[in-house]
């Protein structure tokens, strides 16, 4: 698994495990965002961070529910889309009832727009509307561009939604997580609608999550010991999923390189922190005397 070569994991077992993780992790983020903030070392407990943790959970839970409908219940793609879209529909309604946009200093029109889109998708998929596929392609395509823009130019998207306040590092981290996890969700959806085999669509989705985990682990944001462990764990799980379901040597080599870079960078950072904390210990003795290394 850690070598990220050709895996011998049973695909059905892997799908079951990742579906379980998606539902549990998504549910925890969506319904207990305060707990999730503490788990990932966030010192900021503002509504902005809490709301975006919820939104991340909504995306992860949507992916978990999609896998359950596809592989557990063997539902067709459109019915699966309809059921999974109920998650974001419920979250948008909750956010508007609790006045998240206005309380965060943002315009509510954006949340209303995505709520209407979710309702249209649910209706189109459950009632087999002729325009269902085109609607999902357009809506998910727009949301994918929206999330890429957040990753690249978060201030621009913030201005679109009317947010003018300065974001601290924790808030930037949760916003970035929102963008990556919802990008993964849209990649999953667009893959399925475009006829990509379901297992390969899961593999492509996992590629996005690997990039998210690597990004958070490589930057200087302090995730804490538990948060760093969880991010590393998710990176390995999703890298294994991508290698298993995409089954190409190129993917395996790329992911092997990503994991190696992150591992070396994190280890180096730990050593540097120990040297700064214990300057009396020589560099040569540090690796032999430092606990846990």
List pLDDT tens digits, range 241-273.
999 999 888 888 999 899 999 988 877 876 666
C-alpha–C-alpha distance, residues 187 and 44, integer Å: 30
Q: What is the pTM of this model?
A: 0.88
Q: In this model, does residue 7 exceed pLDDT 70?
A: no
Task: State the residue for tokens 């992916």.
Answer: 63
pLDDT of 276 > 60? The answer is yes
Mean pLDDT, range 204-219, rounded to an integer: 94
Average pLDDT over every residue of 86-115: 94
108's tokens: 């509510």
Q: What is the distance between the alpha carbons of residues 202 and 208, in angstroms, rounded to a whole number?
A: 10
pLDDT digits (tens, 9 = 90+) for 8-28: 688 899 999 999 999 999 999
* Non-local CB neighbours of 35 within 8 Å, separated by 6+ positions: 28
3-state helix, strand, coil in the chain (%, to 5): 80, 0, 20
Instruction: Looking at the chain, list the stretches that DSSP marks H as alpha helix, in order from N- to C-terminal side.
Output: 11-31, 33-39, 47-67, 77-97, 100-103, 109-126, 132-152, 154-160, 169-193, 198-218, 224-246, 249-277, 283-289
């Amino acid at each position: 698994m850690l070598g990220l070569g050709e895996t011998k994991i049973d695909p059905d077992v892997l799908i079951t495990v990742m579906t379980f993780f998606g539902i549990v992790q998504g549910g925890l983020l969506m319904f207990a965002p305060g707990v999730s903030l503490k788990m990932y070392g966030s010192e900021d407990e503002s509504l902005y961070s809490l709301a975006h943790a919820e939104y991340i959970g909504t995306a992860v839970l949507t992916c978990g529910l999609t896998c359950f409908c596809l592989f557990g219940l063997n539902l067709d793609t459109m019915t699966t889309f309809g059921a999974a879209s109920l998650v974001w529909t419920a979250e948008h309604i909750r956010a508007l009832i609790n006045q998240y946009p206005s309380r965060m200093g943002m315009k509510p029109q954006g949340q209303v727009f995505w709520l209407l889109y979710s309702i249209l998708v649910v209706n189109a998929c459950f009632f087999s509307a002729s325009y269902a596929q085109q609607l999902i392609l357009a809506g998910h395509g727009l949301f994918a561009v929206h999330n890429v823009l957040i990753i690249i130019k978060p201030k621009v998207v913030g201005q679109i939604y009317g947010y003018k306040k300065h974001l601290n590092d924790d808030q930037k981290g949760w916003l970035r997580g929102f963008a990556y996890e919802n990008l993964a969700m849209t990649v999953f959806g667009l893959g399925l609608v475009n006829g990509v085999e379901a297992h390969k669509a899961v593999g492509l989705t996992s590629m996005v999550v690997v990039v998210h985990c690597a990004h958070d682990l490589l930057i200087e944001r302090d995730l804490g010991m538990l948060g760093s462990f969880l991010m590393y764990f998710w990176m390995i799980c999703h890298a294994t999923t991508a290698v298993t379901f995409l089954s190409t040597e190129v993917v395996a080599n790329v992911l092997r390189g990503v994991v190696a870079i992150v591992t070396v960078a994190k280890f180096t950072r730990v050593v540097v922190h120990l040297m700064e904390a214990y300057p009396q210990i020589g560099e040569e003795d540090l690796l032999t005397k430092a606990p846990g290394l």
